[in-house]
Amino acid sequence: MAHAAPGLLLPGKRERPRRVRRLLIAHHLLLGDTIMLTPLVKKARARFPDAEIVMACPRAYAPLFAHKPYGMIALPFDPRALADHAAMRRGRGFDLALVPGDNRWSWLARMLEARWIVAFAADRRSYKDWPIDEFVPMPAEQQAWGDIAALLLQGDEPDGYQTVEWPAPPFAPYARPPLPYGVLHLGASSPHKLWPAERWRGVLAWAESRGYATVISTGKGEEGLAQAVDPECRRSGLAGRLDLAQLWDLLRQAAFVVCPDTGVAHLARIVGVPTVALYGPGSPLTTGPGRFWAASPFRALWDPQVPCRNQEMLFGRRLAWMRQCWRTAAECGDPVCIRRIAAGDVICAVEALIAARGP
């Protein structure tokens, strides 16, 4: 804000650039939301085939973009690190900036001297919107977040995703399991997304009865979830130990993945592995495949009739068609939504995906 404010206090005439040589996508979203910006990136590449496309993102996600999918450069940063801000300033000077998600990142775009900044219109204007030059309305009809993000650019929708479009990142060696195997990822960003341990054990027993080795995965600090499902630790040796690039490789060679509605579900969609996602408070209406990933081998399991799935906010904007809940553990001590999913539902969904894919 300190770098951007002088330009706002002494504004000059700003015009939409006639030619886009450098384009910035400014955000600091979670992993799943970041991956779901892929339709926007592909659309930007189609609109501006010769432009340098740069996307700011959390530092932990940068390895996924090592081989520059769609020719895009990842710009990792920590918003609390002054050194990162100084490094970013050295690359300033963009013709166009797109701000998906929270409009506060328009200040980042203005700090990097973007000549024209486009973002979604907010329900109520605030200081977050001051640097923005053009507002795009949120859609009135139901759409997935990836398809919504692509609306920041005018023009035709991007073609559907193909796995060859995103090269696999390099990864350090790890104890890769023998084929064939399935992955059960237990962790999630919210306790309301955690599925009961006894149901995970039911899916585990089914998978091993069908001849699949089973890998139990979690994020760092979530190893206790794995121990509740696999007390002998025979299947959870990788839990909490893989970085994103290693997890990419693990998912890429798996026969199937079962996980909550979390970043791993979106990473699995990029890789192309058959995936069953368990939706508790979240909604596949916004975080499902949408049009861009319509061909992905993906099944969302959820109960849209849970009465408390009645919140309508997406990045601070009210959307009447939303069917989700972001209540905290203090607000809701009984997340019935995730428990509506039975182990048999998951097993049937996995079997259907495997059968559809063939040998």
Residue 86, Ramachandran bin (φ over 0: left; ψ between -120 and 50: alpha; else beta): alpha
pTM of the model: 0.93
Cross-sheet strand order for the sheet of 275-278: 213-217, 181-185, 256-260, 275-278, 298-301
Bridge partners, 76 (sequence order)? 57
Is the bond leading into 180 cis (omega within 30 degrees of zero)?
Answer: yes
Q: Let me know how long the chain is.
A: 359
Q: Which pLDDT value is given to residue 11?
A: 63
Map residue 51 onto helix, strand or coil.
coil
Question: Phi/psi at 206 (nearest 5 deg)?
Answer: -60, -45
Q: Which pLDDT value is given to residue 36?
A: 97
Beta strands 134-136 and 298-301, pairing class: unpaired
Q: What sections of the chain are H helices per DSSP?
A: 5-9, 31-35, 38-47, 82-89, 106-111, 145-149, 197-209, 223-229, 244-252, 263-271, 284-287, 336-339, 343-357
Contact 277/293 with Cβ under 8 angstroms?
Answer: no
Residue 167, Ramachandran bin (φ over 0: left; ψ between -120 and 50: alpha; else beta): beta
Amino acid at 169: P
Q: Which pLDDT value is given to residue 1?
A: 80
> How many angstroms separate the first and last alpha carbons of the chain?
55
Q: Contacts from 65-72 at CB under 8 Å and sequence distance 24+?
A: 65/169, 66/169, 66/170, 66/245, 67/167, 67/168, 67/169, 69/38, 69/41, 69/165, 69/166, 69/167, 70/41, 70/42, 70/44, 70/45, 70/165, 71/45, 72/41, 72/45
Contact 145/127 with Cβ under 8 angstroms?
Answer: no
Could you tell me which of 321, 323, 322, 319 has the C-alpha nearest to residue 309? Answer: 323
What does the alpha-carbon distance between residue 108 and residue 284 come to, in Å, rounded to a whole number? 30
Q: Which helix (H) or strand (E) holds 162?
A: none
Write out the chain's pLDDT in tens, 359 residues.
877 777 777 666 788 999 999 999 999 999 999 999 999 999 999 999 999 999 999 999 999 999 999 999 999 999 999 899 889 999 999 999 999 999 999 999 999 999 999 999 998 899 999 999 999 999 999 999 999 999 999 999 999 999 999 999 999 999 999 999 999 999 998 888 999 999 999 999 999 999 999 999 999 999 999 999 999 889 999 999 999 999 999 999 999 999 999 999 999 999 999 999 999 999 999 999 999 999 999 999 999 888 888 888 888 888 888 888 888 888 888 888 999 999 999 999 999 999 998 76
For CA atoms 153, 159, 162, 165, give the dihedral sign.
Answer: negative
Question: Token pair of 333, please?
Answer: 């001590």
Burial of residue 9 (CB within 10 Å: 0-12, 13-18, 19+) is exposed
Q: Which pLDDT value is given to residue 316?
A: 85
Amino acid at 336: V
Q: Which pLDDT value is given to residue 12?
A: 67
